[in-house]
Chain A
Amino acid sequence: MEPIAQSLLYLDNISVVFDGFRALNKLSLTIEEAEMRAIIGPNGAGKTTMMDVITGKTRPTAGEALFAGVHDLTTMDEADIAQLGIGRKFQTPTVFDMHTVEDNLLLAVKSDRRAFANISWRRTSHEKARIGELLERIRLKDQRHRKAAELSHGQKQWLEIGMLLAQEPRLLLVDEPAAGMTDQETADTADLLRDIARTRSVVVVEHDMQFVRDLDVKVTVLHEGSVLAEGSLDQVSANERVIEVYLGR
């Protein structure tokens, strides 16, 4: 198939209407291969809704969403989109409470997702090594046999980031990763994301401006469902209209 668009993620004129309320209004956005993008915007700007559209949770009322130039995201379901290589971390951490930390990662590790294949499944040494590596990275090695329900909020955030990494996605959507973390953890998270972005594309939504500054990437400002400004953090924070929106007038 001939790619229609060159970018990894291509959103064009996306609108989402809930009962007459426009959560997204003709939103257009492109993310390149191995690009990291920070998305900011006041509460209710439509950031999470945008992720919902990309991951197939919400169907847009109008507009086009293409992945890798060929895959029409608006017609696929969540599982297909995830299998394409789009991973997502939710705003409120959602992990599998009754599973151990290790099993949470196991479920996320890139593998055959079909039901029958998983009946006759045996843990491969590759999987074992991969999980060990991830546990190291998210600093939950000592907690590997604890149930996820028992983890602290911050630990759950890390576990979810670990699950995201385990999927080896081409595009990561990260919704407010720093919420509920200490300053040190926040900085670590920023490091981790920058590290990931060397090989993959990352979209981060965050309210914490220090964190966004640490990331040091192009910033998109959303407001009332559409793009208000785009550029470096310094550029956008000098923008008249952005100031207006954030300070309120």
Chain B
Amino acid sequence: MNGSGILDRRGTIFIVLVLAAGVLVPASNLLLSPSSPFYVSDYLVPLLGKYLCYALLAVAVDLVWGYCGVLSLGHGAFFALGGYAMGMYLMRQIGARGVYGNPVLPDFMVFLNYKELPWFWLGFNHFPFAALMVLLVPGALAFLFGWFAFRSRVTGVYLSIITQAMTFALMLAFFRNDMGFGGNNGLTDFKDILGFPITAGTTRGALFFASAIALVGGYLICRGLVVSKYGKVLVAVRDAESRTRFLGYKVANYKLLAWTLSAMLAGVAGALYVPQVGIINPGEFAPANSIETVIWVAVGGRGTLVGAALGALVVNAGKTWFTGVLPEAWLFALGALFVVVTLFLPRGIIGLWGDVSERLRKPKPDQVPEAEAPAKAAE
């Protein structure tokens, strides 16, 4: 049951928790002594930060899948493009400190005998420009793709498959050395960001905090959209697309807006991800990654935003744990998760939680709508 305001109870709890983590995790890492039981290790901070980025990606996917019915199997591409934009900034910050000591060209270009910087690398030495590209590049690609796809009314499985083809094509492209993005190895060996050493505890803490803020911000933007009338139209499109057209709504535009915004959020997630894991390579474009993202959303609960974020955190925590304890079993577990969730948990953890808590409270069936009615009328 979604509340109708931007901030319902679930959303508020979510925001408070994320913000609290955003402050407490870096604080305990920086201020507490390693012997304290609450100390968060240097290893854990970027790992948790990575989870937050995944959560933001999941929220972005949920906006289009949960509310608009567009199952994207290519959001990993937007995530990776955002990551590459950030990676290019970080590469250029290395300057003459690279192995080859070239003040302008990144190491891999020197290695590949580049004489000068390719044009698309220009400007990435400025952070604001790079930050803009983090939004614009995924946004522009999504806009172009969506403009063609939604106008020609490609829907359902067909759309999913061509999003997958899109990320697959990009992966092949980025694997090529002559694309000018470092080929196989991608971009790595970053030194600093905005002048701060990238591996320093304070930088890590700041990046973690920034990821928490981005997650909350992304959530609020999506939440604002879905509770607006725009969001209602979006859900109408999801459930009965052609009926919505006969009411006079330009369905393609509605989808395009959500789709492009979602891609930009994915780009931001990727951009925050790269400095925390220290590398971006074409593997991020792999179709499998995008599909995995979808399962985070499904696990948490499609069409709930908070659920998507929750699913990303739970599944990735599980992945970390599994690959540490039983690396062989991880793919079995992930595979089983896909099957179990689609078969038995169509509404994910959030839906399950809702069912359980409802059963515990056992309200009279009529009471719920009655109780909500005055609240709505009072708006």
Q: Report A's interface with B, CB cutoff 8 A.
A: 55, 57, 77-80, 82-83, 87-88, 90, 94-99, 103, 106-108, 113-116, 118-121, 123, 144-146, 163, 167
- Are A82 and B254 in touch, CB under 8 angstroms? no
> Is residue B321 within 8 Å, beta carbon to beta carbon, of the partner chain?
no
- Are B230 and A121 in touch, CB under 8 angstroms? yes
The listed residue (A95, A107, A121, A145) touching B228 by CB distance below 8 A is A121
Q: Which of B200-240 contact A (CB under 8 A)?
A: 224-225, 228-230, 232-233, 235-236, 238-240
A120 contacts which chain B residues (CB < 8 A)? 228
Q: What is the size category of the interface that chain B forms with chain A?
A: 20 to 34
The listed residue (A57, A79, A97, A106) touching B248 by CB distance below 8 A is A79
> Is residue B344 within 8 Å, beta carbon to beta carbon, of the partner chain?
no
B229 contacts which chain A residues (CB < 8 A)? 106-107, 118-119, 121
Most A Cβ at <10 Å: residue of B236, B238, B257: B236
What residue of chain A has the Cβ atom nearest to residue B376's Cβ? A145
- Shortest beta-carbon distance from A208 to chain B in Å: 24
17 other A-B residue contacts (CB within 8 Å) besides A118-B229, A118-B233: A79-B248, A79-B249, A82-B245, A88-B246, A96-B236, A96-B243, A99-B236, A99-B239, A107-B229, A113-B250, A114-B253, A115-B250, A115-B254, A115-B257, A116-B257, A118-B228, A119-B230
What residue of chain B has the Cβ atom nearest to residue A119's Cβ? B230
What residue of chain B has the Cβ atom nearest to residue A83's Cβ? B248
> Is residue B373 within 8 Å, beta carbon to beta carbon, of the partner chain?
yes
B236 contacts which chain A residues (CB < 8 A)? 96, 99, 107
- Are B242 and A115 in touch, CB under 8 angstroms? no
What residue of chain A has the Cβ atom nearest to residue B368's Cβ? A145
Cα distance, A168 to B25, chains bound together (Å):
56
- Shortest beta-carbon distance from B301 to chain A in Å: 15
Most B Cβ at <10 Å: residue of A57, A108, A113: A113
- Shortest beta-carbon distance from A183 to chain B in Å: 28
> Is residue B369 within 8 Å, beta carbon to beta carbon, of the partner chain?
yes
Contact with A along B246-279 (1 / 0, CB 8 A): 1111110110010000000000000000000000
A90 contacts which chain B residues (CB < 8 A)? 243
- Are A97 and B245 in touch, CB under 8 angstroms? no
Q: Is the interface of A mostly helix, strand, loop or mixed?
A: loop
> What are 16 A-to-B residue pairs whose CB atoms are below 8 Å?
A79-B248, A79-B249, A80-B248, A95-B240, A96-B235, A96-B236, A97-B239, A98-B235, A99-B239, A115-B254, A116-B257, A118-B228, A119-B225, A119-B228, A119-B229, A121-B229
Cα distance, A117 to B246, chains bound together (Å):
19
- Shortest beta-carbon distance from A93 to chain B in Å: 10
- Are B249 and A113 in touch, CB under 8 angstroms? yes
What residue of chain B has the Cβ atom nearest to residue A82's Cβ? B248
> Is residue B372 within 8 Å, beta carbon to beta carbon, of the partner chain?
yes
What residue of chain A has the Cβ atom nearest to residue B379's Cβ? A123
Cα distance, A144 to B376, chains bound together (Å):
11
Cα distance, A117 to B336, chains bound together (Å):
44
Most A Cβ at <10 Å: residue of B229, B235, B238: B229
- Are B246 and A146 in touch, CB under 8 angstroms? no
B250 contacts which chain A residues (CB < 8 A)? 79, 113-115
- Are A79 and B251 in touch, CB under 8 angstroms? yes
- Are B232 and A99 in touch, CB under 8 angstroms? yes
B224 contacts which chain A residues (CB < 8 A)? 119
Cα distance, A107 to B229, chains bound together (Å):
8
B239 contacts which chain A residues (CB < 8 A)? 96-99
Cα distance, A98 to B239, chains bound together (Å):
7
The listed residue (B230, B246, B247) touching A118 by CB distance below 8 A is B230
Q: Which of B356-379 contact A (CB under 8 A)?
A: 369, 372-373, 376, 379
- Shortest beta-carbon distance from B26 to chain A in Å: 34
- Shortest beta-carbon distance from A122 to chain B in Å: 9
- Are A108 and B235 in touch, CB under 8 angstroms? no
B225 contacts which chain A residues (CB < 8 A)? 119
Cα distance, A49 to B146, chains bound together (Å):
30
Known A-B contacts A115-B257, A119-B225; A108 and B230 likewise in contact (beta carbons under 8 Å): no
Known A-B contacts A106-B232, A107-B236, A121-B229; A94 and B254 likewise in contact (beta carbons under 8 Å): no
- Shortest beta-carbon distance from A78 to chain B in Å: 4
Cα distance, A79 to B236, chains bound together (Å):
14
A77 contacts which chain B residues (CB < 8 A)? 245
A167 contacts which chain B residues (CB < 8 A)? 247-248
A116 contacts which chain B residues (CB < 8 A)? 257
- Are B235 and A55 in touch, CB under 8 angstroms? no
What residue of chain A has the Cβ atom nearest to residue B377's Cβ? A128
- Are A115 and B253 in touch, CB under 8 angstroms? yes
Known A-B contacts A97-B239, A114-B253; A82 and B247 likewise in contact (beta carbons under 8 Å): yes
- Are B247 and A107 in touch, CB under 8 angstroms? yes
What residue of chain B has the Cβ atom nearest to residue A110's Cβ? B248
Known A-B contacts A107-B232, A118-B228, A145-B373; A78 and B245 likewise in contact (beta carbons under 8 Å): yes
B235 contacts which chain A residues (CB < 8 A)? 96, 98-99
